[in-house]
């Protein structure tokens, strides 16, 4: 199965989940045109339609957004841009004095045998006032999952995968792929 992403961290997290499933995972490190849409579902879907124009093997990609309800859902579909511009420190300033609750949403789009199937995962938590940790990427240093004390950047990949947005979406994808295999 091919994973299309330009992001090494995403590949590492997803590869850790495929490990031991018997399904080989190949990383196609490729930056594709991300069509701006209002939802993570639509960005993921439209990106998949774009990539399948030139990649005819089965593959999947995913889009992830960080949603802060007290900021009317911002940055949501603009998470890449916000991360690359004001970064997590800018986001921390925006939530100062506001409800800090936030959630990550990952939507995987699988292109297989002529159709596209989506798998989603959500992780609820809050934006911390202090950045902590050095693992992970993006907004990980300022995101504390519900019921936890550590930020995502203070967790090893396997722990993050156990309950993260991406971990949940990937585990449903893996279940689906296994269900397609001929019964032995
Ligand atoms: P692709 O090539 O797969 O599109 P990307 O890095 O552009 O890689 P996204 O558009 O899905 O990925 O991600 C939007 C932003 O959200 C991205 O810049 C990350 O910084 C951030 N992000 C995504 N997943 C995250 C996670 O698990 N933890 C923290 N930040 C994350």
Name the pTM for this structure: 0.96
Q: Report percent pLDDT > 70 for the chain.
A: 99
* pLDDT at residue 78 greater than cutoff 60: yes
Q: Output the residue whose Cα is nearest ligand 1's atom 21.
A: 138
**Residue 178 exposed, middle or buried by CB count within 10 Å (0-12, 13-18, 19+):** exposed
Nearest-atom number in ligand 1 for the CA of 61 is 3
Please state, for a pLDDT cut of 90, what percent of the chain lies above it.
92
Return the ligand 1 atom nearest residue 138 CA. 20
CB of 118 closer than 6 angstroms to any ligand 1 atom: no
Q: What is the pLDDT of residue 182?
A: 73
Rounded to whole angstroms, what are the CA distances from 26 to 5, 11, 79, 135? 11, 9, 26, 23
CA distances from 92 to 71, 83, 127, 132, 142 (A): 12, 12, 7, 13, 8
Reported confidence tier of residue 183, pLDDT bands at 50, 70, 90: low
Binding site membership of 10 for ligand 1 (Cβ less than 6 Å): yes
Average pLDDT of the residues of the chain: 96
- Which helix (DSSP H) or strand (DSSP E) does residue 130 occupy? none
If you take atom 24 of ligand 1, which residue's CA is the nearest one? 64
Domain regions of the chain by residue span: 2-180
Q: Greater confidence, 155 or 35?
A: 155
| 138 CA distance to ligand 1 middle (Å) | 6
Going by the DSSP 8-state scheme, the letter that residue 49 receives in this structure is H
Q: Which residues contact 147 (CB under 8 A, 6 or more apart)?
A: none
- Which residue's CA is the closest to the ligand 1 atom numbered 28? 140
- CA 168 – CA 121 distance, rounded (Å): 5
For residue range 138-152, what is the model confidence (pLDDT) as tens digits? 999 999 999 999 999
For the segment(s) 2-180, the CATH number from 1.10.3720.10, 3.90.950.10, 3.30.465.10, 3.40.50.300 is 3.90.950.10
Task: Give me the mean pLDDT over the 97-112 stretch.
Answer: 98
């Amino acid at each position: 199965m091919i994973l299309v992403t330009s992001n090494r961290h995403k590949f590492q997290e997803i590869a850790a989940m495929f490990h031991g499933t018997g399904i080989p995972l190949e990383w196609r490190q490729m930056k594709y045109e991300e069509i701006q849409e209002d939802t993570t579902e639509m960005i993921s879907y439209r990106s998949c339609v774009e990539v399948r124009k030139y990649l005819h093997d089965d593959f999947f990609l995913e889009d992830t957004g960080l949603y802060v309800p007290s900021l009317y859902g911002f940055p949501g579909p603009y998470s890449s841009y916000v991360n690359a511009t004001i970064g997590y420190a800018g986001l921390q300033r925006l939530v100062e004095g506001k409800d800090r609750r936030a959630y990550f949403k990952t939507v995987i789009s699988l292109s297989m045998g002529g159709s596209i199937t989506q798998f989603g995962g959500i992780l609820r938590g809050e934006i911390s006032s202090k950045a902590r940790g050095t693992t992970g990427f993006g907004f990980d240093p300022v995101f504390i999952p519900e019921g936890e004390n550590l930020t995502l950047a203070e967790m090893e990949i396997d722990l993050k995968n156990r309950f993260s947005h991406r971990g949940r979406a990937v585990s449903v994808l893996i279940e689906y792929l296994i269900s397609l295999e001929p019964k032995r």
